[in-house]
């Protein structure tokens, strides 16, 4: 049982499709994150939301668009993706947005395949 | 920015032996170093962390050591068991009150296999 739930678990989409990934946390945390995990590469931080305000955007292409409507929900909107965007997308949350050493709690991820 | 290098990329040990995974970091301002374990098909989970005000921390069979001068830190697992088989990630960040969340820089991971 994880306090961070991601849907869908698997997603296959064409390069012209538009889809969204959803993340929900039930831990009462106030910071949420999107990470990209590709084979043989480190986990890459994409976006950070602290108290529902985006505080980090690590040069992520505009075809990825995050949305954080409240402290419990996080979305990643996808459009016109490329095959190299195929990866595991992990959502995470941390308890205290003010503390940069607050442990991350990850979801199980969405395995995205772009055809 | 911070750069974290992790070695080895794969590690096989016999059950009961010890395993050591090493990481180096580039930013001398980094002072928080967590380790995450990711079992196959599962999410990464924090297993231990260390802050730069200590040189070593233990939790049962797991220990982490930190050498600030050399900018490297290591994970030590003793008496390995099959359930220790997983990918282990080291990470580094600058801890403090920032209001900007926890912006970790991760290593590339070590696939540990504990063989019977």
Give pLDDT tens digits for A56-76: 777 899 999 999 999 899 999
Higher pLDDT, B48 or A17: B48
Q: What is residue B98's predicted lDDT score, i.e. its pLDDT?
A: 64
Chosen from A4, A25, A31, A43 to mutate, greatest number of chain B CBs within 10 A: A43
Instruction: Name the residue among A31, A98, A103 with its Cβ closest to that of B97.
Output: A98
Q: What is residue A52's predicted lDDT score, i.e. its pLDDT?
A: 76
- State the pairing for strand pair B45-51/B32-38: antiparallel
Interchain proximity B95–A100, CB inside 8 Å: yes
What mean pLDDT do residues B47-74 have?
A: 94
Which band of pLDDT confidence, cut at 50, 70 and 90, is reported for residue A40?
confident
> Number of helices and strands (H, E) in chain A?
0, 11
* Dist. CA B51–CA B95, nearest whole Å: 8
- Is the Cβ–Cβ distance between A49 and A35 less than 8 Å? no
SS (HEC) of chain B: CCCEEEECCEEEEECCCCEEEEEEECCCCCCEEEEEEECCCCCCEEEEEEECCCCEEEECCEEEEEECCCCEEEEEECCCCHHHCEEEEEEEECCCECCCCCCCEECCCEEEEEEC
Interchain proximity B49–A101, CB inside 8 Å: yes
Give pLDDT tens digits for A95-104: 877 777 888 9
Which band of pLDDT confidence, cut at 50, 70 and 90, is reported for residue B41?
confident
């Amino acid at each position: 049982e994880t306090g961070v739930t991601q849907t869908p678990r698997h997603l296959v989409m064409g390069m012209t499709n538009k889809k969204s990934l959803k993340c929900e946390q039930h831990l009462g945390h106030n910071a949420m994150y999107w990470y990209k995990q590709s084979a043989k590469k480190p986990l890459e931080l994409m976006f950070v939301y602290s108290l529902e305000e985006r505080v980090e955007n690590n040069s992520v292409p505009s075809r990825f668009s995050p949305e954080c409507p409240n402290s419990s929900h996080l979305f990643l909107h996808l459009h016109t993706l490329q095959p190299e965007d195929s990866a595991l997308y992990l959502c995470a949350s941390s308890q205290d947005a003010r503390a940069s050493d607050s442990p991350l709690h990850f979801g199980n991820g969405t395995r995205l395949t772009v055809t | 920015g911070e750069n974290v290098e992790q070695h080895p990329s794969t590690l096989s040990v016999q059950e009961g032996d010890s395993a050591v995974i090493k990481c180096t970091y580039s930013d001398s301002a980094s002072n928080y170093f967590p380790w995450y374990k990711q079992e196959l098909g599962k999410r990464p989970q924090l297993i231990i962390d260390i802050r730069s005000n200590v040189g070593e921390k233990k939790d049962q069979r797991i220990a982490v050591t930190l050498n600030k001068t050399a900018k490297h830190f290591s994970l030590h697992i003793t008496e390995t068991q099959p359930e220790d088989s997983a990918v282990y990630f080291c990470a580094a960040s600058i801890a403090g009150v920032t209001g900007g969340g926890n912006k970790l820089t991760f290593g590339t991971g070590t696939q540990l296999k504990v063989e019977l």
